[in-house]
Structure 1
Amino acid sequence: MRRQYVSKILLAGVAVGALALTGCGNNNSNNSSTAQGGSTGKVVHLRYMVWDPNEEVGYKKSIKEFEKLHPDIKVTLEQYSWSTYWHKLLTEMAAGDAPDVFWDHVTYFPQLVSSGELLNLSPYIKKDNVKLSGYYKSLVNQYKYKGNYYGLPKDWDTIALLYNKTEFKKMGIKMPGKLTWNPQNGGSFLKLAEKLTVDKNGKNATQPGFNPKQIKQYGYLSWNQNQEGYLNFVAENGGKFLDKKFGTKLQYDSPKAVQALQFMQNLIYKYHVSPPGSQTKGATSDQTLFDSGKVAMTTEGDWMLTPIAKGANFKIGVAELPMGPAGRVSVMNGLSDAVYAHTKHPQQAWELVKWLAGKKSENLLTSGGWVWSPRPSQDKNFIAYWKKKGINVTPFMKEAKGQTVSFPITYGWNEAYTKIRNTMNLMYLNQLSASQAAKKAVQEADAAFQSAAKGK
C-alpha cells in the first residue's frame, strides 16, 4: 500500500496521453442531484479509486453499507496497483475526468494540492461540524495546506519489527522486551541479529568458524526501503529527513543521518547479518525473504501483515523497533480520502468521504483487520482481529502513541525519490559508502525540490 515505487509522471507530462482516455471516463455527466445532496429521484454515480487489493475487500463492505444509507448514490470501486494507480489518476486529471473520490498519499499531496486538483474540504467540515480532534493530530495535519484541509484521514501506519516466532523458539531465543542499537557497536539489536544469522554448517555469526559466504539464514533484513527501513534508524539517531515541511533541502548528509546509514550498510558488509543488496533489489524482496525463512527479522509496516501472514508457514511475532540513541522513533504515515476538485458532484463525494472517515465505517474496517483507524479510540478493534490470528499487533500502536516522525512531504518528492532510490541502491550494493551516497542523494534531490518549488 505505502511502497515508494513511485513513477516520474507529472500532470503536465500526461496531458497528451490523456486525450485518448477522455471518451472512456466518468459517468457523472449523465446524473443529477440537488446542491445539498438531497434526492431528486435520480441516482448519482461516484467513482472511488484505491490501490490495495487486500483492503479493497473491506472497502467493498463499507460502500455497501454507505449505499444502504444513501440510496440515491451508487459507488463504483476501482482498484489498481500502486504504479498503475498513479499513472491512471494523473492522466485522468489532466483530461479533467478523474474519480470523484480517491486515496491520496503524502508523496503526491503537494503536487495535487498546489495544482488545484483537490477539493478544499474545510467548508464541508465546518458546515457538518466534523470534529477533527478525534483523530491523530499528525494525520490530519499531513493533508493541511495553507490553513485548509484537503482530505480526511482514512488510516495510519507505523513500522515495527516482525520476526519468525517459530524459528526463535526452535533456536531457544527469546525476543527481548527492549532492544537497543547504536552506530558504534550495534547494541543488543546487533547481538540478536548475529545469533540468528546461521551458515550452512549451523554456526552463527558469534561463533568461531562462521562462514559469511555460505549463510543459510540471516538475522535481519537491511535493504533499500526508506519508510520501512533506514528512515526509522536515521530518526532514532537524531537525524532528520527534510529541513521542513514543503522544504527544499534533503538532510541525509548530516552527521547523524550518515551514521545511521552507515550502520545499515555495516549490517550487510561488516557484520554479515543481512543479505547483500544483490539479493534485495526486487519490489517484494522483504516479503519473499521473510516468508521463505531466509531472514529471521525484518522491519515492516502494518499494511504488510495480511500478505506476509498469508505467505508464511510459521508463527509471526511483532516487537517494537530497537531503540536508538535518540529513543524509539517510528515513521508514522497515513492515507487520506480526497475529493477531486472538478467532480460534478462535490456534495455526494463529500458524503462518501465523511462516511469513510466516520466511526461506523472505521469500525467495520478495523474489525476486519484491514486498517488501523485514524481515531485512537478504535485501535482495540484492529488488535482484537489480529489476536484471533495469533499475532499481537500492539507494538504498532505503542509506537503511534510514542515518538513518531512524518514521511517527507514536499514539492517534487516523487521526482527526487527516483534519484534518491537509485543512489541509495549503490550504497546497498556496496558501490558507494554511506557518506558518498548521502552527498550524492542530497545534491540530486535538492535540485528536484527547488525546481518543483518554483512558482508554488
Structure 2
Amino acid sequence: MKKKTVSAVAVAAAAVLALSACGSGGGSSSDEAKGELNYWLWDSNQLPAYQQCADDFHKANPDITVKVTQRGWGDYWSTLTNDFIAGNAPDVFTDHVTKFPDLIKNKQLLPLDEALKKDPVDLSIYNKGLADLWVGEDGKRYGLPKDWDTVAVFYNKTMTANAGVSDEQIKNLNWNPVDGGSYEKTIAHLTVDKNGKRGDEPGFDKNNVAVYGLGLNGAGSGLGQSEWSYLTGTTGWTHTDKNPWASHFNYDDPKFQQTIAWYAGLIQKGYMPKLETTVGASTADIFGAGKAAINVNGSWTIGQYAGYKGIDLGIAPTPTGVNGKRASMMNGLSDAIWAGTKKPVAAAKFVEYLGSAACQDVVASKAVVFPAIKSSSDKAAAAFQAKGVDVTPFTQQVKDGTTFLFPIAENAAKVDGIMTPAMDAVVSGKNPVSSLTQANDQVNALFK
C-alpha cells in the first residue's frame, strides 16, 4: 500500500510541475512556489555553506523558507528510510549514487524533467560525467550535480623526511600487485616498531608496531573507494560489466583478487594495522596522533587532515599502477526531491538553486569540498590554496582523465550486505582471497 500511495503522490506532483515554471529566477505563480521546505544533508562540515545557500535562496524567494537539517551518515540514511515509509520524508535531500537506483526503483524520487523544460539548466557547466550520473534507466533526470570527490595520499612530512624519503619520491610512487613496487618499499620503510626498527630492516617486530607505514580505512566492502580502488583501477579491472546500471559484478576476477591479496598482505607483514584494531576508530585521527605515516583518503577529508596540530601535512597523488597511470574513483552527489513532497514547485526551484553557481560558489568559498560546476570547483581549489593547502593531487586526476565512476546498480544495500563480511574475512586473514568468488556468485544471483 505504501508504495502505491507514494507513486500516486509522485504522479500528482509531476503534474503540478508540468503546469508551472520552477527556476530560481522566477516564472512560477506565487501560490505554487511558497511555504517551508525541509532539506537534509549528512556532512556537518558543509552545513554552514548550505545554511548560507538556504538563507540566500530565501532572500531571492521570500515566499519560500528552507529548514536545513544535518545528520551523520548512518543516522541520515536510516532516518530517511523510515521517513519514506512513514510518508514524512524531507522535501529535498542529498542523494548518493549507491542509493540512487533503489530510490528510483521504489518510486521515492521526483523527476526534474518538466521543471527543466520550463527553466533549462546548461548541463555543460558541470565537470564531465557528473550530470549523466543522475539520469535513470527510464531516461528521466532525478537530480542536478552537487559536488565531486577523488582520493589522494596524505602523508606526514616530518616522518618521511626523518626516513630519508623526499616529497618528490612520495609524489612519484609506483605500484604493482606482485611486489608492491616502490609504494610497498616506501610503506615498509616508514613503518617503525616499538624498538625503532623499520619494516625493511632486520629484526623488525611486526607484532609490536609503533608507527604504521599505511593507515587502514577498512576492508572496503565491495567498493573500496579509499581503500583499494585506486589500485584495482590501474589493472584493467572494473567492478561491474557496465556502468551505470550494471547487472553483473566481477569480484571473481583474478586481477581483483590478486590486488586484495596484496592489500591484506600489508597487514600480515606488519605494515598496516590489523582490521580488528580499527573498528570504531577514525583513520584520520590515528594519522593525526602520529600513529601512521601515510593515509589514502578522499578530498572530503582535506579540512580534517589539514587541521591536525603538530602535523606537517603533505598531499601526493596516488601511485601509478599496472597500466602506468594513476587512478581514482570519482564520486558525485546530487540534491533530489522526494516523490511525496507537497511543495514540488518550490522544491524544484530550490534544487535548481543548489545546482547553480550562486550556491556552489558559496560552497567553494568554504574550502571543504569541490563543487560540481567547473568554475566553482576552480574557486574551491583557490580557496584551499589560500589556506596553504595544495589540492592538485585531487584535481589532477580529473584533468588527466584518470578517474572512474562509482558502480551504479540496483540492490546496493544487498550487495554491501554480502561483500562487507566477505571482504572483512579476507582482509582479517580468516578466509583466503579465493572465497570472494563465492561472494561474487551470491552478488550476481541478486540480478537473476
User: Does the CA contact (< 8 Å) of 1:240 and 1:252 recur in 2?
Assistant: no
User: Does the CA contact (< 8 Å) of 1:124 and 1:350 recur in 2?
Assistant: yes
Q: Which has the higher contact order (CA 8 A, sep 6+)?
A: 2
Say if 2:426 is the partner of 1:432. Answer: no
Residue 48 of structure 1 aligns to a residue in which SS?
Answer: strand
One-letter identity of the residue aligned with 1:122: D
Kindly report which structure 2 residues correspond to 1:263-342, keeping only aligned pairs within 5 A, or say none.
263-269=262-268, 271-282=269-280, 284-326=281-323, 327-342=325-340
Structure 2 residue aligned with 1:53: 44
Structure 2 residue aligned with 1:167: 159
Kindly report which structure 2 residues correspond to 1:76-91, keeping only aligned pairs within 5 A, or say none.
76-91=67-82
User: Does the CA contact (< 8 Å) of 1:249 and 1:442 recur in 2?
Assistant: no
Residue 149 of structure 2 aligns to a residue in which SS?
Answer: coil
Post-superposition offset of 1:385: 2.2
Distance in 2, Cα, partners of 1:99 & 1:38: 23
Identical aligned pairs, as a percentage?
A: 35
Residue 296 of structure 1 aligns to a residue in which SS?
Answer: strand
Say if 2:141 is the partner of 1:149. Answer: yes
Show structure 1 runs of 5+ residues with no match.
1-10, 16-33, 451-456
User: Does the CA contact (< 8 Å) of 2:98 and 2:409 recur in 1?
Assistant: yes
One-letter identity of the residue aligned with 2:174: T
Say if 2:93 is the partner of 1:102. Answer: yes
Kindly report which structure 2 residues correspond to 1:15-414, keeping only aligned pairs within 5 A, or say none.
35-36=20-21, 37-40=28-31, 43-145=34-136, 146-175=138-167, 176=169, 177-222=171-216, 223-225=218-220, 226-244=224-242, 245-269=244-268, 271-282=269-280, 284-326=281-323, 327-401=325-399, 402-414=401-413
Post-superposition offset of 1:434: 1.9
Q: Could you report, residue by residue, the CA deviation over 1:124-166 in whole angstroms, capped at 9, with x for unpaired residues?
A: 2232121001112321111111222100010000111111123
RMSD (Å) for aligned C-alpha atoms? 2.1
Residue 272 of structure 1 aligns to a residue in which SS?
Answer: coil
User: Does the CA contact (< 8 Å) of 2:41 and 2:93 recur in 1?
Assistant: yes
Q: CA 1:94–1:206 in structure 2 vs 1: closer, same or farther (change >3 Å)? A: same
Post-superposition offset of 1:103: 0.5
Residue 227 of structure 2 aligns to a residue in which SS?
Answer: helix
Distance in 2, Cα, partners of 1:141 & 1:395: 24
TM-score normalised by the chain length of structure 1: 0.87
Q: Could you report, residue by residue, the CA deviation over 1:163-189 in whole angstroms, capped at 9, with x for unpaired residues?
A: 112322343321323111001111111
Distance in 2, Cα, partners of 1:377 & 1:257: 36
Distance in 1, Cα, partners of 2:74 & 2:309: 26
User: Does the CA contact (< 8 Å) of 2:33 and 2:346 recur in 1?
Assistant: no
The count of corresponding residues between Structure 1 and Structure 2 is 418
TM-score normalised by the chain length of structure 2: 0.88
User: Does the CA contact (< 8 Å) of 1:386 and 1:393 recur in 2?
Assistant: yes
